Structure 1
């Protein structure tokens, strides 16, 4: 910790992440005093200076902040730095898109450290790819969006560096003039631009969703202008939340009845409903009605559903969708109710279709073939058991009763009608084409080639 080449003893406070250090002063013998055994002499910063080497971090999950602290010599000065690495792997409140943006921001910051340690452009590119892989691995269940986002970013950085290198050659200047720091500056500038472009994707997706809803609603309006469009959704998808708020601003007159599943154990559905109402257009408040329903009532909630609106944390190349638990049950129930509705009205001229299962997602959630399944993400039993009585919790814990902790599940492609993305409304073939595109980019970035700098020098 102090650069003397000897390992020091660190104590990390599990709640705050505060760090106290006992500095290694080297070996001592019995002659130091009768109460001091032979061994190592440790000097504690707190007892002698009354100040820790790091005061800790402020974090929502205070009881786990210490788990997010680690150490490493980032700038090569022989002293370890204090690192807090909880932004991606410990964030269970943000959606996949938000985590992808966080990962992109982290990539930019870590490239700044890489500029201090990498000696040449080859090392920098290898380090850039290594950082990206680590960020993707941080949240397995949401790695699709993070992976696609970072792969596209690295491909764009690759292109930026190539163009700069060609321009330098055309001017007759050596490509080494820019140096590692200059390359990092170019990469960080490109990442900043990508972050701005990602905001435009949200607008495009909102526009496609708006067109889909209006086309769905038009025949209904002709049949019954007072009949609201029934939308069922769950969890707290930032994509769904933003799309609905955009719709409230552009078409507030469309009558909607939105049922949101509570989405236990963290009740994200209720959170999403509150967040939408907080920013909902005033005109839409007159036409829109909201209902919170317990997860166990999905069979009842599905009966009147026109559209089941699901987000996605991952979409396989064949069209399967990984999303929050409860999604598969919702899709199955809505499908069943839809089939019953068709059977009951098969001899009637039904002017509109009910029970559509719609996936609302950025195309970044689509993964290449063969990488659909990742490590299962399990949460602590306390996520569920904290709602139980103390007596019930104790009896079940003593009996060793297993508490289900998986947070994500797959919805089969046969249960999905369409995929609404910023690229338009896709069917399974459209999803497959996007998967092939991301597979090609992944091979280019991680496929074993030396990358952007391999230009025959």
Structure 2
């Protein structure tokens, strides 16, 4: 991407840092830096990450990052995994006539994969460095490309935090990143707990300017580097907390109990999440009573179809069943590959049934499990297709578990009277501020798919796995996509049920606009330090 303003050519680039963990994932890593050759046009012989321009053909910066890594090191997703994003920034360098827009990324090298690194003509050598030393040691400044240390600190935040704060944020991000069983409501609660742990470890400098910078950057990382695809709720929750913290900061003088007030704000929001979950259950029961059961005749059975592992949906179904005047519930659950959360959801439903309905023998629960491919069969004669929402976008619709769109489309064709109902808090609404990209898909580890094939004894799966691992230069290549989420267009949804009642389009727009304003206010102004 190029242009010109005030004589400087605008260039958007990626800066990709490759990390290895020689002493284990919980220990301090090393970062690979590459010495640019005399064949490149700018910054010859300087130390740099893997970098390159973002093309107009690239759908997003991470695509450009993977391309540059492949070209300059021969590494592929078979031996390298994406780890962290850094907050983009810009700077001018009149010596080369450029205005640079830097998009920092961090990747983790697989154990033993160092031998796979093959540098191309753009570099004359490379070696491993201590990332904290690179960021903090001024002797590196003249050896590196401009603002390398700023790029690195944005993915290796541990370099400028005390050990306890860095550990709290780093370990919290790992927990969020690898949690593939919790719903977005639960993940947001976990993220707020991590944020609380981080703030607790920064008490010693809470009255300094750097504290507010670090606190906002920690919030940014929890959204972008936890589970971004499920991060809209986390973003809205953290923005609400930052707004209240900011009110204390803007007082004429900091009160002596500033730290305690900051922690109280976080605790208040964490406690409030539990009460809001209860309101959603009540609203769902009311919706069923008004829209399904109010037909003037006694219903013998209510049929609900879902594809979910959400505790909110589980509790809402069972509490509605317990409170409504209906003798039987038929619950049809799609298994939800590749992790088969549907089976776990069914088990949780049965456990909840024993807990809530143990004193009555009059109500009957019938649980039917279906394969994902059987959505059209599962939805026949259903009353409700009940879904959660990991994100709500005004332009894209509802982001939910892959398989949700085929289920909804099947319902529209097979059982057009079935109501498509989404259980979602207003905090799931995503704006257009760029923090969470609605075009971005969460591609997860293909080994989850391979693992189920192997466990089931699929014949010749080894040939597929070998082709997958061979890389793009092989004669036969295989891509295995493990995409968790997909979009359901808003016009296909009959009702959004939340703790505030049934959400209207105007309320969703208002929430999106509010998020846009706050995200720009608190994140766009995070300072560049070097």
**CA displacement at 1:404 relative to structure 2:** 2.0
**CA displacement at 1:263 relative to structure 2:** 0.5
CA distance in 2, matches of 1:218, 1:421: 20
Contact 2:309 2:345 in 1 (8 A): yes
Matched, 1:387 2:452: yes
**CA displacement at 1:434 relative to structure 2:** 2.3
CA distance in 1, matches of 2:407, 2:361: 26
Q: Give matches, 1:173-192, under 5 Å.
A: 175-176=253-254, 178=256, 182-192=257-267
Secondary structure, aligned partner of 1:289: strand
Q: Give matches, 1:356-367, under 5 Å.
A: 356-367=419-430
CA distance in 2, matches of 1:149, 1:199: 13
Please name the residue that 1:136 is paired with: 223
Please name the residue that 1:369 is paired with: 432
**CA displacement at 1:233 relative to structure 2:** 0.3
Deviates most, 274-283 or 127-136: 274-283
Secondary structure, aligned partner of 2:339: coil
TM-score by length of 2: 0.62
Matched, 1:257 2:309: no
Contact 2:303 2:382 in 1 (8 A): yes
Contact 1:318 1:431 in 2 (8 A): no
**Alignment equivalent of 2:271, drawn from 173, 187, 196:** 196
Matched, 1:316 2:393: yes
Deviates most, 436-445 or 131-140: 436-445
**CA displacement at 1:250 relative to structure 2:** 2.8
CA distance in 2, matches of 1:146, 1:252: 37
**CA displacement at 1:432 relative to structure 2:** 1.8
Contact 1:318 1:432 in 2 (8 A): no
**Alignment equivalent of 1:398, drawn from 466, 471, 491:** 466
Q: Kindly tell me: are residues 445 and 331 of structure 1, through their superposed partners in 2, closer, same or farther at Cα, counting changes over 3 Å?
A: same
Please name the residue that 1:225 is paired with: 299
Secondary structure, aligned partner of 1:266: coil
**Alignment equivalent of 1:409, drawn from 486, 489, 509:** 486
Matched, 1:99 2:187: yes
CA distance in 1, matches of 2:387, 2:492: 12
Over residues 156-175 of structure 1, what are the superposed CA-to-partner deviations in whole Å (9 max), with x where a residue is unaligned?
Answer: 2223555xx3xxx6xxxxx2
Q: Give matches, 1:142-153, under 5 Å.
A: 142-153=230-241
Matched, 1:355 2:414: no
Please name the residue that 1:431 is paired with: 508
CA distance in 1, matches of 2:166, 2:270: 31
CA distance in 2, matches of 1:81, 1:106: 10
Highest RCO, 1 vs 2 (Cα 8 Å, sep ≥ 6): 1
Matched, 1:301 2:378: yes
| Number of equivalenced pairs | 364
CA distance in 2, matches of 1:219, 1:81: 55
Secondary structure, aligned partner of 1:185: helix
**CA displacement at 1:379 relative to structure 2:** 1.6
Give the greater-gyration-radius structure (CA).
1
Q: Give matches, 1:231-270, under 5 Å.
A: 231-251=304-324, 253=326, 255-270=328-343
**Alignment equivalent of 1:205, drawn from 280, 287, 311:** 280
Q: Kindly tell me: are residues 279 and 267 of structure 1, through their superposed partners in 2, closer, same or farther at Cα, counting changes over 3 Å?
A: same
The RMSD of aligned alpha carbons is 3.2
CA distance in 1, matches of 2:478, 2:495: 40
**CA displacement at 1:448 relative to structure 2:** 3.5
Contact 2:399 2:488 in 1 (8 A): yes
Q: Which structure has greater helix proportion?
A: 1
Contact 2:396 2:488 in 1 (8 A): no
Secondary structure, aligned partner of 1:200: helix
**What 5-or-longer segments of structure 2 have no aligned partner?**
1-19, 31-109, 112-155, 468-476
Deviates most, 412-421 or 276-285: 276-285
**CA displacement at 1:445 relative to structure 2:** 3.1
CA distance in 2, matches of 1:198, 1:360: 15
Q: Kindly tell me: are residues 224 and 91 of structure 1, through their superposed partners in 2, closer, same or farther at Cα, counting changes over 3 Å?
A: same
Moved segments of 4+, more than 6 Å: 18-21, 79-82
Q: Kindly tell me: are residues 137 and 70 of structure 1, through their superposed partners in 2, closer, same or farther at Cα, counting changes over 3 Å?
A: closer
Contact 1:252 1:284 in 2 (8 A): no
Please name the residue that 1:110 is paired with: 198
**CA displacement at 1:143 relative to structure 2:** 1.3
Deviates most, 95-104 or 371-380: 371-380
**What 5-or-longer segments of structure 1 have no aligned partner?**
1-8, 22-63, 170-174, 340-353, 451-457
Please name the residue that 2:367 is paired with: 290
Contact 2:292 2:383 in 1 (8 A): no
TM-score by length of 1: 0.72
Over residues 144-164 of structure 1, what are the superposed CA-to-partner deviations in whole Å (9 max), with x where a residue is unaligned?
Answer: 1111111111112223555xx
Q: Give matches, 1:4-43, under 5 Å.
A: 11-13=22-24, 17=26
**CA displacement at 1:291 relative to structure 2:** 0.9
Q: Kindly tell me: are residues 402 and 76 of structure 1, through their superposed partners in 2, closer, same or farther at Cα, counting changes over 3 Å?
A: closer
**CA displacement at 1:443 relative to structure 2:** 3.8
Contact 2:157 2:166 in 1 (8 A): no
CA distance in 2, matches of 1:151, 1:103: 13
Contact 1:248 1:284 in 2 (8 A): no
